[in-house]
Structures are given as C-alpha cells and as structure tokens.
Structure 1
Amino acid sequence: MGQHSSGGNFLLRLSGEAWLPLEEAYLVEASTYEWKYVMTGLEPPPLIRFCGLPQAPHRLEAHEAYGQLITPFYSGQVTFEINAELFESYIYPDPRKLTQEQYNLMLSEILQEAPLCFNYSEIETGIQADRHSRLLSLAQWSYLQASFAWLASLIRQVVAQPTRVLQAREQQMRRDRVKTVDSQTMGWLERNRRRSASGTVPEIMRSSIREDSYNTYENRVIKRSLVELRHLLKLYGKASPGESATTAELYADKVGYWLREPFFKQVTPYGGAIRISQVFRKHPVYQQCYQWFERLYKHGDERIGLQYSYPLKETFALYEIWCYMQLVKVFREKGMLKNSSRLFQTTHEGLFLHFAENKESVVHLTNGMRIYYQRVYQYNSPHFYTFTQMMKPDIVIETGDHLYVLDPKYRVPANLGTALGEMHKYRDGILLRRNDERAVQNVFILTPVQSDELRYFAADFQDRYKMGAIGLTPGGDMSSLRDWVDKLVAQEERMMEISED
C-alpha cells in the first residue's frame, strides 16, 4: 500500500543530514529527528501530531517552522497528522537491537539443538523426528506461547489498514442512477434497444459498479491461516493438561474473535496453493504475518519445548539461553559432549529444556569440563567461593581449578567498556577455596554488536588482558565463538600436560 504524499511541505532529517520529504524518510525507533514545515503565503504555523502527540515548533522563521520529535522504542506503522490531514509512515527496528526475525530464529535454533543434545543424555524416553509434520509438539507450543502476542499485534494492524482492490460488478438499476457507461453497458443497451418496440432506453438497465473490495489474495490467505490456527489451538486445548489447556482455549477464542471482525466477514478463505505475492514480499505487516504462519509448521523435527515462554520484551532472557545452546553446539560439533541430562526435565506434560533460575543447568564434556547456565557462587560454596556477595554469571565453564565466564549482553550501548568493567567482579571476586587464588581465567561478553574497530574484539587485546567481547548474532557468523573455544581447549590441554610433568 503506497504512502500518501505530504506535498513536500513537511521534511525530516537526522542531525547534520539532508532534509527529506516524509514519504522518503527512513525512520528508526528510539531516534531523534528534526522536522521542518514550509509554509506558503500567509499560511499559519502548522498543527502537527505524531503518534497522536502534538509537536509544537521550537522556532519560527520566514515561512518555515522547525521542531524536533523522538520516535518511540518500537517498530511498525505510525501516523502523522499535519493540519488535520493524515499521513502514514513506518518505523524500522534499531539496527543495534535484535529484530523479530532474529528472535524467532533464536527460538527455532534452541529447539533444533535440543533433540541433538538429548542424544547425549541418560533419559530413557523416545523423541520423534518428523520434519514438516503438522502433529502437535512441545516445540510448536513453545513457539505459540512466545509469539502469540506478536501475531495479535500484526492482526490488529491488518484489520486497521487492510489491502484492498477496486472491483467491478454488474447490477441492474434505474437508468437515472447509472454513473458510468462502459463497453459492456453499451453492448447491453444495443441488444435491448433492438428488442424494445419503441427503441428507447429501458427504465431498468444493467451497468457496472466499481467498489473497494477487501477480498484480496493476501487477506484470503490470512483468513485461511487463522481458521487453521483456531483448529490447531482447539487440538492443543484437548491434548494439553492443566494450565496449558486453558491457555490454548484462550488463544482459540481470541482467534475466533478476530474472525468475527466485520473486515474478515467480507473475506473468503483462500483454497488453493499458497504463493508469495508482491504484497507478502514487500508490505512490512503482511510480510511478517506470512512469516509467522510459515514458521508455525516448521517444528516437525523439534519435539522438545521450553518450559517457560519468553515474550518479545524479554528477548534478553532468550538471548542468554541461545548463547548457551550455541556454545554447547560448538562443543557437540567437536565431539566433546558426554552427558546432557541436566538440561532436561520430564513432567506429566512432556519433555522440556530446563533453564529455570538457580537450577544450574549443566552439560558435562569428555575432557572433564562442565558448562553451567547461571551457576551460583557464594561464601559457603565448597570448591569456588565469593568473599563479598552471591554471584551468578550467566555462562560458566568449569575445568579443574579454573573458571571461564561468558556473559551475554543482548543490547549493549556504544561503550562496551562499561559492561566489561562489570565483569571484574567475577574475575576478582570468585576464589579457589583451597588456596584463595583467583579462579576465573577469562571473562568475555557475548553481544550482537559487531565491530572490527573496537579494541575489545581484537585478539591481541583479549590475549593480553584475558577479557574482551565476542560478537554473536542470530543468523550471523559463528567463527569468533569457535575460535575462542579452540583456544580454550588447547590452553587447558597444555595446562594438563604441564601439571602431569
């Protein structure tokens, strides 16, 4: 759907950049923009609203008004109201922040790695692997719980501003109500005038009426997907025990409420093979709707779910788990996994990845190393202890008398040094019980930030100070983490050889 034109009177820019008309401006969330309105003749200062909030000009010059606005900390469609006329625009995600697509990618990769790690556990239960299946699975249910709120937001946007098409249909009407005369109407007149004895235009005639229709291909596909989703949720309501069944029924009722909207009542569910149209490819809201339903059925080979759902606003928690599972994946690919039983919990509802706080999920490696998630260290801990306060680093690798700490930082501002400064408490505050020596060998931040210019990412900085940052982005390159693991394993092997000598 194309944006309205602001006529070039309303311009936006980031500080120091060129002015751009509203329809050409690329808006990013949580950013400050300067705006300028060019007045014509004796036109009064403009009345401007952004997302419903008034934007008063900071200064007035000859025929120009200047002001400043801050985009909200979310992405999606927004509106400008300029002198009572509405204009649409779109706010794009902050590139420093993980996107919705990356959020879904993290969830999918966690659930894909889970069955592979399960092969190294001692839990005796079967795990089915049926890719592209529409059978119910804990992984699919985890996806539904984690992203249903996002789907609700997308459907609200579709209902508020749906795509539509101008369609023509023929209808009989009185001749004085005919507004347009096309070739079909003329042909009908010629045929019926010959049949009329007087040869005059009939009182009742057939003509074409053009009207907006919401029964577009994309809306029909979305309605079909919602009907299938409601059926799927009903199945979960019958198959799931306790609280999960109640949640599934609530979701199903919500989908039924959407389908009763006047908009969807005008739409016929699509019945053929689904293809990716230009609207699904380019329209931001329809594209995300298509991707949501596409991912819904891509959990056929994932039968292990997350015990807790992580909404989009808690992406930092999912990023911590994803980083942990990526580290486990690197060691698994090196053939070093020994026992992963402590990653899983069996309940009456099924088999789950277990990453609850203070549970210290752990994977044992073949060389004696242990990879902990949120391991707790305090004054009375037996082997390693703290002399100040309880500490709980997100990821710890224990090997003999040494510790290696990794701390995922979902979103770190430009000064990574502040975040690294906080890591000193782990390196200096966790001691070895038997001799009070520092136990932590390295401390590293795992972050979506990617920068070759910052010294914290440089190998010489990390080798010299035994700390730094490792870039780890969903869908990105994993080579930095693999290189770090290779150095760690080689370093421990050298230390073991020295101690044996």
Structure 2
Amino acid sequence: MEQRNSGGNFWLRLADEEWNVLEEAYLTEASTYEWKYVMDGNEQPPLIHFCDMLHLPHRLEEGEAFGQLTTPFFSGQVYFDINGMKLGSYIYPDARKMTEEQYDLMLNDILQEASLCFEYSNIETEITADQHSLELSLAQWSYIEASFSSLRTVVRQIIEHPIRVLQAHEQQMRREQVKMVDSKTLVWIERNSGRSTTGNIPTTVKSSVREDSYNTYENRLLKRRLLDLRHLLKMYGKSGRGNYKIRAEAYADKVGHWLRDSFFRKVTPYQGVIKISQVFRKHPVYRQCYQWFDRLYKHGNEQIGMSYNYPLRETFALYEIWCYMQLVKIFREKKLLKETSGLFRTTREGLFLHFAENNESIVELKNGMRLSYQRVFKHNGKDFYTFTQDMKPDIVIEAGEFLYILDPKYRIANNLGTALGEMHKYKDGILLIRNDRKAVQNVFILTPVQSDEIRYFKADFHERYSMGAIALMPGKDSPSLEKWVDKLVHGGDLI
C-alpha cells in the first residue's frame, strides 16, 4: 500500500488568505498562521509537533482539524512531525524586524548607559566594571536568559546536521574486507607475507580505512564552549542569587543533555588557540553559534542587570526601553542629568534597571524637566488629567505645564499614517487640571524605519503639525532626535 503523504493533507495560511499545502507555504518568523489537516476516511485526529510545541491543539469540524501556530523568532530550517512523519520547511526572515545583532546592540547600549547613569543616583551600593571579566554579572545573566532559546535552536540544528570530514586511519582487518589498497598496505603485505605458512597474503591485513569523522575544529571548539557554559551556569546556580538559581540549574542540565548526545561523544574538546575558521565565517548555523559565545563574555563589564529579561520575540519591548535610554544618553551628554535613582531598584540579588509596567521610571533634569517612562495619566490626576480613558505613553518629557510625548513603534513600516493618527489621543486628550488647556505640545513616533521620502519624517511637517516620525535605529546616529532635543533644551520654537 502506498504511504500517505501527510504533507499534502496539512495546509497553512495567514488570516483571511488562501490555503497552501505545507511544501508551498511561505513562512516568516514571529507570525501566526492558521492550519488545517484533512483526515482521510476514518482517520484519527492528527498528532502534530512543531519546534518546541509538543502537540498543536486543534478543533474538529467535519473530518478536518483546525488550529493555530506561531513561528519562532528566527529564520532557517524547521520541521513538522505529522503523525510520526518528519516534514521539512523553511522560515524566512521578517523584513520588518531588526537583526539579532541589533537586538544585542540594544541590550548592550541599555546596560552601558545604565552604568554611566548610576553615578547620578543617590543609591549607596558598589558596582564593579572589568572589560574582560569572567565574573558573574547580572548583565551577562540578562543576555543568557534573553538568548538561550536561540542557542538551543542552533545547537539542535548542529546536532542534526553537523559538519564532518573524511579521515583515514590504519586498521587490522580480514583480507577479504580490504576495500582500498595503497602503498602502505602493499609494504605491510610484503613485510608480513613471509610469516604465512603458505607464503601468501596473511588472513588479517593492516590497511587504511577512510571514515567520516565529526572531530573537526569547529565541533571540538563548540564542545569546549558548551563545557565552559555548563560550568558557568552551575556557578550561577550555586551563587544562590534569588529566583534565577533554579533557571540556571535548568539551563545547565539542558547543556549537559546536549553534551550527552552521541554526536558530541565522538568529539574531543578543543584546547588550543581559538581562531575564526572559514566554517565559522560562512556556515549560517555555525556562524550564529560562534557569535552567541563571542557575545557571552562581552557582558562582564556591567554589573547592572535587567529586572525583566526580554526574549527575541519581545524585541518591541526592548526597543521601547532602548529609545528611552537613548534620550537619557542625549541629556547626559548635555550634562543635564540630576537624579537617576528612578531607573534602578536594589534587591538582595543585586542592582537592576527597573522598567516594570506602571512603574513610571523618572529621570530628573537640572533644568527642571522630567523624563518619564510609561507615565500613566488618569481622569483624577494631580496636574494633568484625561477626560476619556487612562493613557500611558511610553516616553514623556515634562517641562512645567507642557508635555512632549515620544512613542517608539517597532513594526509600522506600512502603517505610519495609522500609528501617527493614534497619537492624536495624547495630543487632544491630556489636559491641564488648572485651566483645561491641552498640555501636549509635540507627539512623535520613534521608529527604526529609515526614509527621507516619507513626509512624516520631514522637518517642515514636524514644524507645521507639531507631530511626525523620527528615525531611531540601533547602531546609527539620529541627528533628527538630537536636533529636536536641542530645540527643547534651548527654548526653541517646538510648537
């Protein structure tokens, strides 16, 4: 009986679009898809596994199973297991998102700026800095928690499809098993034929055997890195620093599970000088793995951590904090920081940046202004109020009775107008208690979108309507934002 093609029975689509069979579906990362499985005759409901999801939940309707799945926040080869049949697919990068390198750059920028801002706080505690430190640090732990899932993905891909080389070694074997006769084999036979009672070829022959070997430089270095990581995680587990103790031990167990795989059992840890080989430069999976470990020990220079660790799928939240800290950086470089203790909280585990929801982290400036993160405005506020609903813009600059609002928007490449239209609720809906006048003078979207052609980014649009969009991309300068802050600080005409 011909084996049924489970892939042909499995269909995917984005909401309200056409269905496509799995082999024709175009999947992008961090996207939600509807799926259906068409059952044949009296077939039982399907068992479908995808990435880390053990069994996709579904509902049944007239011989078909329906459900939803969300692709992970990475691109590359993935597999579906449908009723025990393994079917491959590919997840393509989301053009709207930043790269993983930019994500890591944002995390570094935030923590480095936090270290510089700490001296403007009144918190009495000691923090240390060592550019090449191998000591435990909250910043390093933040990196591990944020990116361990991506390491798990690349290690799993390496275990399933490791690189290998063909290596030759000499081995004693029966003469009928010899597949290759080279000069060494002939010399051995000539030397040992006289030992045979008949003077012929001996029963066992020493010959060269070529076998696939996984003991390459790249695999050996990876095993060394994983051994070091397991040791590091055990150190975090033994440190007893609060609630990450259990997670550190779980991570260490996971790394140990990888090392016990039959693939790594065939690999000897590398002990020499580390170099970047062509495989690490060009192979997409091995390159990602090398970069992950390369970044791991670059987080030893900050002893301030994040109170919440943002995984890759929550890059939008990290982008909001990064934008806020970029504004803090601009004010710091203008020597205007006065009090920054609102950015931090201390616990028995250490010193943390604290951007919890409704926390309203506030930085006081020397010129009397206040820079707030996710400040909440209610109908019964002290100085400002709303007459419709509670509002919580991401970034608020308060200058006396005037407010200036900046709202980071991570994924609005095709919806700038809609996103900017939503900013009217801040511009028109936040009023002064004293006289019911509108308090918000400017509203701007901060976005990684870079375009000089879109009118929302143009200076004349900003001046005419007191709103617009400002490009802010990790790794790039933002002269528009700095120019706007200059006008604000020096009393320029922003209205």
Give the TM-score normalised by structure 1. 0.81
In the alignment, what sits opposite 2:344? 344
- State the 1:184 CA deviation: 2.2
Distance 1:293 1:451 in 2: 34
Write the mapping of 1:31-70 to structure 2, written as runs, cut at 5 A. Answer: none
User: Would the aligned equivalents of 2:139 and 2:306 in 1 still touch at CA under 8 Å?
Assistant: yes
Task: Give the 5 Å matches for 1:381-420.
Answer: 381-420=381-420
1:305 aligned residue: 305
Q: Which residue of 2 aligns with 1:94?
A: 94
- Please say which of residues 87-96 and 224-233 is displaced more in the overlay: 87-96
Q: Contact conserved, 1:360 with 1:374, CA < 8 A, in 2?
A: yes
Q: What's the CA shift for 1:92?
A: 4.5
Cα–Cα, structure 1 residues 407 and 287, in superposed 2: closer, same or farther, change >3 Å? same
Mapping of 1:115-130 within 5 angstroms?
115-130=115-130
Inter-partner Cα distance in structure 2 for 1:76 and 1:381: 50
Instruction: Please state how far the C-alpha of 1:482 moved relative to its aligned partner.
Output: 1.5
- Which SS does the other structure have where 1:168 is aligned? strand
Q: Which residue of 1 aligns with 2:439?
A: 439
* Residue 431 of structure 1: how far off its partner (Å): 0.7
3-state SS of 1:242 partner: coil
The answer as to 2:361 corresponding to 1:358 is: no
1:467: which partner in 2?
A: 467
Give deviations 1:370-406, integer Å, cap 9, x for gaps: 1100001011111111111000000001011111111
Q: Determine the structure 2 residue equivalent to 1:428.
A: 428
CA shift at 1:95, angstroms?
3.0
Q: Which moved more, 1:435-444 or 1:88-97?
A: 88-97
The whole-number CA distance in structure 1 between the counterparts of 2:30 and 2:125 is: 48
- Pairing 1:266-305 to 2, within 5 Å after superposition: 266-305=266-305
TM-aligned CA distance change 1:337 to 1:152, over 3 Å: same
Q: Which has the larger displacement, 191-200 or 100-109? A: 191-200
Contact 2:106–2:322 (CA under 8 A) maintained in structure 1 = yes
User: What letter corresponds to residue 340 of structure 1 in structure 2?
Assistant: T
Q: Distance in 2 between matches of 1:334 and 1:195?
A: 90
Contact persistence 2:178–2:207 (CA under 8 A): yes
Q: State the Cα distance separating 1:147 from its structure 2 match.
A: 1.2
- Count residues with an aligned counterpart: 430
- Partners of 1:115 and 1:349 lie apart in 2 by 17
Structure 2 residue aligned with 1:259: 259
SS of residue in 1 equivalent to 2:244: helix
SS at match of 1:223: helix
| 1:383-437 CA distance string (max 9 Å, x none) | 1111110000000010111111111111114121000011000000001111111
Q: Provide the secondary structure at the position in 2 that maps to 1:385.
A: strand
The letter for the 2-side match of 1:222 is L
Aligned AA (2:403): L
Answer whether contact 1:93 1:99 (CA < 8 A) is retained: no
Q: Which residue of 2 aligns with 1:22?
A: none
Shift of 1:215: 1.1
Find the residue that maps to 2:482 and give its secondary structure: helix
User: Conserved in 2, the CA contact under 8 Å of 1:386 and 1:431?
Assistant: yes
Q: SS of 1:271's equivalent?
A: coil
Give 1:206 deviation, angstroms: 1.0
Show structure 1 runs of 5+ residues with no match: 1-25, 32-50, 53-70, 81-85, 496-501
**Given residue 396 of structure 1, which amino acid in structure 2 is its aligned partner?**
V
Report deviation, 1:480: 2.6
Quote how far apart the aligned CAs of 1:490 are. Answer: 2.6
In structure 2, C-alpha distance between the alignment counterparts of 1:307 and 1:240, rounded to whole Å: 17
1:119 counterpart SS class? helix
Q: Secondary structure at the match of 1:445?
A: strand
Distance 1:88 1:206, change over 3 A: farther
Report matched runs for 1:142-153 at 5 Å: 142-153=142-153
- Worse-matched range after superposition: 478-487 or 321-330: 478-487
Identity of aligned residues (%): 68
Q: Is the 8 A contact 2:242 2:348 kept in 1?
A: no
* Equivalent position of 2:137 in the other structure: 137
Matched, 1:315 2:315: yes
Instruction: Quote the residue 1:76 is aligned against.
Output: 76
Partner of 1:61: none
**Could you say what secondary structure the match of 2:325 adopts?**
helix
* Alignment-mate amino acid for residue 460 of structure 1: D
Moved more, 160-169 or 351-360: 160-169
Distance of 1:72 and 1:382 partners within structure 2 = 45
Q: Which residue of 1 aligns with 2:238?
A: 238
Q: Distance in 1 between matches of 2:193 and 2:115?
A: 76
Asked if structure 2 preserves the Cα contact closer than 8 Å seen for 1:372 and 1:395, the reply is: yes
CA contact (8 A) 1:378 1:389 kept: yes
Quote the residue 2:212 is aligned against. 212
Q: Letter of the 1:464 partner, please give it.
A: R
2:249 maps to which residue? Answer: 249
TM-score (structure 2 length as normaliser): 0.82
Q: Distance in 2 between the 1:395 and 1:344 partners?
A: 17
Cα distance in structure 2, aligned partners of 1:414 and 1:340: 36
Contact preservation (8 Å) 1:96, 1:448: no
| 1:9-31, Cα deviation, whole Å (9 max, x unpaired) | xxxxxxxxxxxxxxxxx997589
Change (3 A) 1:78 1:256: closer
Go from structure 1 to structure 2 and tell me whether the alpha carbon gap of 1:298 and 1:446 turns closer, same or farther (over 3 Å shift). Answer: same
**1:197, CA displacement in angstroms?**
7.3
Give 1:166 shift. Answer: 1.1
Q: 2:13: which partner in 1?
A: none
Give the match for residue 63 of structure 2: none
Question: Per-residue deviation at 1:187?
Answer: 2.8
Q: Report the RMSD for the aligned CA atoms in angstroms.
A: 2.6
